[in-house]
């Protein structure tokens, strides 16, 4: 049975997450990155693993994929830095007066 909100995070289909804004892990990532422009991948993993010890056993690639695909982050430099993905500002409509 297919679950539409399920996202596999690794090739072996051992690690998965559900999509959506209500994820506690996603909210924790957002809180951490609300006070810093970027954080070291290893430091973020350690901070997130407090109270979520399963993250210490997750393959690094699965966590990287979670951050990129579900938490809207960029992971730079071979899993070194993590930052929120930059959003392009919506174009502003300006009325010109003659």
Q: What is the CA radius of gyration of the chain?
A: 17
Residue 40 lies in a domain: yes
pLDDT in tens, 36-88: 999 999 999 999 999 899 889 899 999 999 999 889 999 987 779 999 987 65
Q: Which long-range contacts (CB under 8 A, 24 or more apart) does 43-49 make?
A: 44/82
CATH code of the domain containing 12: 1.10.10
Residue of 93 and 19 predicted with greater confidence: 19
Residue 50 lies in a domain: yes
Residue 18 lies in a domain: yes
Separation of alpha carbons 80 and 86, rounded Å: 18
Q: Is the pTM of this model over 0.85?
A: no
Number of structural domains the chain divides into? 1
Residue 1: pLDDT band (50, 70, 90) is: very low
């Amino acid at each position: 049975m297919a679950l539409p909100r399920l996202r596999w995070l690794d090739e072996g289909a051992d690690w998965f997450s559900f999509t959506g804004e209500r994820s506690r892990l996603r909210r924790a990532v957002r809180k951490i990155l609300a006070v810093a422009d970027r954080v070291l991948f290893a430091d973020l993993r350690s901070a997130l693993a407090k109270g979520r010890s399963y993250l210490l056993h997750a393959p690094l690639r699965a966590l990287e994929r979670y951050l990129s695909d579900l938490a809207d982050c960029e992971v730079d430099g071979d899993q070194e830095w993590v930052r929120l993905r930059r959003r392009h500002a919506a174009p502003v409509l300006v009325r010109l007066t003659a």
